[in-house]
Amino acid sequence: MRLRHKLPNFRIAVVGAGAIGLYYGGKLAQFGRNVHFLLRSDYETVRKRGLRLRSKGENVHVPRVRACRSTAEIGPCDLVIVAVKATANRQLPALLAPLLGENTMLLTLQNGLANEEFLADHFGIDRVLGGLCFICVSRTAPGEVKCFDAGHLALGEFGGLPKPRTHDLAWEFKRCGVVCSVVADLTRERWRKLVWNVAFNGLTIAAGGLNLAAIVADDALRLEALALMNETIAIANACGQNLPTALALEHLKRTATMGSFKPSTLVDLEAGRPLELESIWGEPLRRAEAAGVAAPKLAKLYRELLALDRRGKR
């Protein structure tokens, strides 16, 4: 599908109204795109007050939002942005079915591994794209998002090299104020991001609810983060991804600029929501075992997070 031929009536659905879904959907809606949001707890507030996107450089109010209570109410779309937590993936086959037309694209912005595979298994590989969100953003109130660092969005095709639609979609995001690029190898870039997520999403929880600034400032935790990142790089490379060993230091340097930001997994824990354990920690650990790569730091962290998650559910 070429977006440039569909723009006047291009329909977009956002499934997952957390920080990521509200931010990227809100940016598209801000610039007049035909965006429909699946909303539940935020529905009444967003219907009355619209969306607010706040950051150091902007305070955006989108007063009129196409808010819907069900995907059946939205109907078939050209693009579906999947921004639910990976813990909700089992609900997606039924949830997304009313949104599918003949050429509907599914763009998952989820963290971790195996999310594209899940969508491809249920809806066909030709529909599936992935997006990597290098951003610090939090939902601060119903219909309100605060962006600490807009970063950038990277798009790729799950089924292979970028297609014309990949570049057209990236161009649409750029036209709506989002720094966006296209990657040639989506799987490799997903591993690149996972290196950061494994270490910093995990340690902020395992260390007792610390923010990123506290992790970076603590010598022992900083070294633990580097060790976790190096293990994850070794797993990725055993799986054929060829990540540079310098990536861990690059991630650490960037993390030092993020201040006291709390990653999404820590926010989930504090809110009593289930953690994305399997997609971020469990899946790379299973791939390490399959490839014969020792990952003792990752295995220990996974066990600790599993215990915390179970305790939170109780």
Residue 239, pLDDT > 70, answer yes
Q: Which tokens is 23 given? A: 């931010």
Residue 6 has what pLDDT? 47
Which pLDDT score is estimated for 8? 47
Q: How is 235-290 classified by DSSP, letter by letter?
A: HHHHTT----TTHHHHHHHHHTTSTTPPPHHHHHHHTTPPP-HIIIIIHHHHHHHH
Top pLDDT among 273 and 156 is at 156
| pLDDT for the residue numbered 58 | 85
Q: Which of 48, 193, 300, 313 is catalytic?
A: 193
Q: Given this model, what pLDDT does residue 152 score?
A: 94
193 is catalytic: yes
Q: Is the pLDDT of residue 5 over 70?
A: no
DSSP one-letter code for 292 = T
Q: Name the pLDDT band for 212 (thresholds 50, 70, 90).
A: very high
Q: What is the pLDDT of residue 274?
A: 87
- Reported as a pLDDT band with limits 50, 70 and 90, residue 313 is low
Residue 283: pLDDT above 70?
Answer: yes
DSSP state of 305: H
What's the pLDDT score for residue 312? 63
Q: Which of 229, 226, 241 is nearest to 291 (CA)?
A: 241
> Encoding tokens for residue 30?
């801000």
pLDDT in tens, 172-206: 999 999 999 999 999 999 999 999 999 999 999 99
Torsion, Cα 94 100 105 110, to 10 degrees, reads -20
As a residue count, the chain comes to 314
DSSP state, residue 158: T
pLDDT interval class at 311 (50, 70, 90): confident
Task: Show the domains of the chain with their CATH numbers.
Answer: 3-184 (3.40.50.720), 188-313 (1.10.1040.10)
Percent of the chain at pLDDT > 90 equals 85
Whether the Cβ atoms of residue 192 and residue 207 lie closer than 8 Å to each other: no
